[in-house]
Amino acid sequence: MRIRQYAWSLFVAQRYLFSKKSHNTINIISIVSMCGVAVGSMALICVLSVLNGFEHMVQDSFTSFDPDLKITSQQGRVFDLNTEAWQQVRTLDGVELFSEVFSGNVLVGFNGRQTPALIKGVNANYSHMTGVKTLMIDGSFMLRGGAGNTAVVGVGVANTLSLGVDFVSPIALFVPKRNVNVNLARPETAFTQHHLFVSGVFAANQPEYDDEIVFVPIDLAQQLFDYSPTEVSSVEIKVRNGNQIDKLESTIQTILGDSFAVQNRYEQQADFYRILQIEKWITFLILAFILLIATCNIIGSLSMLMINKQQDIALFFNLGADNKIVQFLFLLEGWMISVYGALVGLAVGVVLCLIQQYVGVIKMGEGFVVENYPVALQLGDVFLVFFTVIILGFLLASYPASVLRKRRITKSNEKGI
């Protein structure tokens, strides 16, 4: 019986929503309410998709530079690979490439200009470890040439020093000597100096990479900092099967213990991804608040409708309908305005996002990393926006419906019922 009553409420609510009212103002208010919800839903899904697009764009640049797994020491900057545990890690099933890395801060000089940098000593297979080859904008990723060792520098370092691949002069690396006191009369004696030519320039479109990193052979880096060939600052691993990253990360962590940190690509840039998520949620809350204001029109629409339908309400009560059924009728009315508005807005927003994602109508302009505005539509965002509108519509429609119930109770008490 109760199900039939609720079905009747749904039928009447649909008639009230789509039928022409005696006062045209009520139709206009209902349309404005629905359009407000639609525009808010469309704006919310479009903005979230744009944020996803920028996030994916930055993730791609990190993916081309960061390895699948990176291992660093928790107890110092340098550690020794000549141990049984590391031999076990090398032979693990799933490890496709195992690359030693030695990093350190240096001063790079060229034709009277100087800039601090981070040299990253890597071995010959490092170009297969990441997508750094795809980031080259000048020359090639080559660390040894006919003249000996060569370097690959970030575009920021190259611009600061005004150097390029075809230059006949080499760059100079200055590294402080270990356990040596600085002679104030001859301070240059406290530094190890090495000259090498530039073979390539890369651009990762990330300042922490482009403005700081200089790639050199790992044996040169170890020699400059006076460390043995088995001592490294980190180990980078390429996993054979991407689905096994989490499993391999756990296995390596178990073998090496808590003295080492094993990080996947997300964990290597955890702070950055956390900031992106915070930015996305803050944007969502701001737009959801704007959507809430637009949805407030439902209160006015339902209030006007209840005033217009007073005779119908009285008839429903005389026919035996109770407070809950009539209240549920107008609650459905407000809810349907939210649902239809959300569906229309999401449909338009999804179409716009797909057009931008695959066609690229809106351009970024010259000087940007990408030509078109990046957009990445996610199904989870669509459901998030839809359920947000549903909840807001339900809460706002509850107020006029509850007022109707209170008025009914008051009138009943006045009549002594």
| pLDDT tens digit sequence for 346-405 | 999 999 999 988 887 887 766 566 677 888 899 999 999 988 888 887 777 776 656 655
411 closest CA partner among 333, 332, 313: 313
Task: Tell me: do 282 and 393 sit in the same domain.
Answer: yes
Task: Tell me: do 231 and 82 sit in the same domain.
Answer: yes
Number of domains in the chain: 2
Residue type, 12: V
Helix intervals (H) in 176-322: 207-210, 218-224, 245-256, 265-268, 270-295, 297-308, 310-318
Enclosing domain of residue 145: 69-266
Task: Tell me: do 213 and 231 sit in the same domain.
Answer: yes
Task: Tell me: do 119 and 173 sit in the same domain.
Answer: yes
Q: How far apart are CA 317 and CA 400, in angstroms?
A: 18
Strands (E), 357-399: none
Q: How far apart are CA 106 and CA 160, in angstroms?
A: 15
Task: Tell me: do 105 and 225 sit in the same domain.
Answer: yes
Note the pLDDT tens digit of each residue in 69-126.
999 998 888 999 888 999 999 888 888 889 899 999 999 999 888 999 999 999 878 8
Q: How far apart are CA 230 and CA 372, in angstroms?
A: 47
Task: Tell me: do 164 and 25 sit in the same domain.
Answer: no
Pairing status of strand 191-202 against strand 136-139: antiparallel
Q: How far apart are CA 34 and CA 345, in angstroms?
A: 9
Query: Given 236, 266, 296, which residue is the final one in a domain?
Result: 266
Task: Tell me: do 169 and 221 sit in the same domain.
Answer: yes
Query: Given 266, 292, 322, which residue is the final one in a domain?
Result: 266
Note the pLDDT tens digit of each residue in 114-135.
999 999 999 878 888 888 888 8
Task: Tell me: do 124 and 237 sit in the same domain.
Answer: yes
The residues pairing with 194 across neighbouring beta strands, listed in sequence order, are: 173
338 closest CA partner among 397, 409, 262, 415: 397
Average pLDDT, the chain: 80
Query: Given 219, 238, 266, which residue is the final one in a domain?
Result: 266
Residue type, 301: S
Task: Tell me: do 29 and 105 sit in the same domain.
Answer: no
Question: pTM of this prediction?
Answer: 0.70
Task: Tell me: do 247 and 367 sit in the same domain.
Answer: no
Q: How far apart are CA 339 and CA 316, in angstroms?
A: 25
Task: Tell me: do 313 and 383 sit in the same domain.
Answer: yes
User: What length does the chain have?
Assistant: 417
